[in-house]
Amino acid sequence: MGLRVSDLSVARGGIRVLEGLSFALAPGQALVLRGPNGIGKTTLLRTIAGLQPPVSGEVDAPAEALVYAGHADGIKATLTVRENLEFWAQAFGNSDISGAMAAFQLAPLGERPAGALSAGQKRRLGLARLLVTGREIWVLDEPTVSLDVEAVAMFAAAVRAHLAAGGLAVIATHIDLGLSEAEVLDVTPFKARPLEHDDFDGAFL
Ligand SMILES: Nc1ncnc2c1ncn2[C@@H]1O[C@H](COP(=O)(O)OP(=O)(O)OP(=O)(O)O)[C@@H](O)[C@H]1O
């Protein structure tokens, strides 16, 4: 089960931001997306995740194998850390949250309402959620925001374990995750050119 992106163009707010992107990932592979603020990484990830349609081109990935984690936490503030994970595990047809709790060292926070966590702790919970989904394709937008060095290492280890188990991941990040095995794609050269009018005069008439 892989992910293939072919000649993809994506738009935000009706304006094309990236065009002509192609890449393929096989099980066990990770791709890190780089590029300056506003270039279109979030837009690309949302398109890959099927949350918005492409302008043109194709994303070939089984939707039922994919999970997207974006900027919004999606954490239920009144549930405890443990209950949040149990809720998500159940939503994805799983029950065992122990691996996820351990990977992000959440046991000491298990009975705390998620609303009472710090930003970095919330992020750790949000990332732990990936593990309970059991899904193969992780599409992650800035997963390490608010994380300290130790938590970034937890995340990198979780990605590595995911890849070793035959998963794959596309990750937009500005920081070095220390994942030397990941391919890096700078999307800057794929910035969409301004639209050219076929009928230049017509635009003024
Ligand atoms: N709701 C919106 N309506 C219109 N344009 C938007 C909207 N949200 C973002 N944009 C614009 O779309 C472009 C692509 O944004 P996107 O969030 O995909 O970039 P990014 O590469 O993820 O940036 P960052 O590194 O800052 O997260 C930017 O120029 C941005 O200003």
Give the distance (Å) from ligand 1 centre to CA of residue 73. Answer: 18
Name the residue of 15, 16, 33, 39 whose CB sits within 8 Å of the most ligand 1 atoms, as the mutation to test its pocket: 39
Give yes or no for a contact between 188 and 39, defined as CB atoms under 8 angstroms apart: yes
State pLDDT tens for residues 125-171.
999 999 999 999 999 999 999 999 999 999 999 999 999 999 999 99
The verdict on the CB of residue 38 being under 6 Å from ligand 1 is: yes
- For residue 144, being part of any structural domain is answered with yes
pLDDT of residue 195: 63
For ligand 1, what atom is nearest to the CA of residue 142? 27
- For residue 14, being part of any structural domain is answered with no
Q: What's the CATH number where 159 sits? A: 3.40.50.300
- Residue with the smallest CA separation from ligand 1 atom 12 is 12
Name the residue of 18, 34, 42 whose CB sits within 8 Å of the most ligand 1 atoms, as the mutation to test its pocket: 42
- For residue 201, being part of any structural domain is answered with no
Would the pLDDT of 199 be above 80? no
- For residue 128, being part of any structural domain is answered with yes
- For residue 18, being part of any structural domain is answered with no
Task: Report the C-alpha gap between 186 and 134 in whole angstroms.
Answer: 29
State pLDDT tens for residues 10-43.
999 999 999 999 999 999 999 999 999 999 999 9
- For residue 182, being part of any structural domain is answered with yes
Name the domain count of the chain. 1
For ligand 1, what atom is nearest to the CA of residue 174? 25
In which domain, by residue range, is 176 found? 28-53+61-193
Give the distance (Å) from ligand 1 centre to CA of residue 33. Answer: 15
- For residue 22, being part of any structural domain is answered with no
Report residue 35 as tokens: 């590029």
- For residue 141, being part of any structural domain is answered with yes
Whether ipTM exceeds 0.90: yes
pLDDT of residue 198: 52
Find the helix packing angle between 119-133 and 149-164, rounded to 10°.
10
Name the residue of 15, 41, 140 whose CB sits within 8 Å of the most ligand 1 atoms, as the mutation to test its pocket: 41
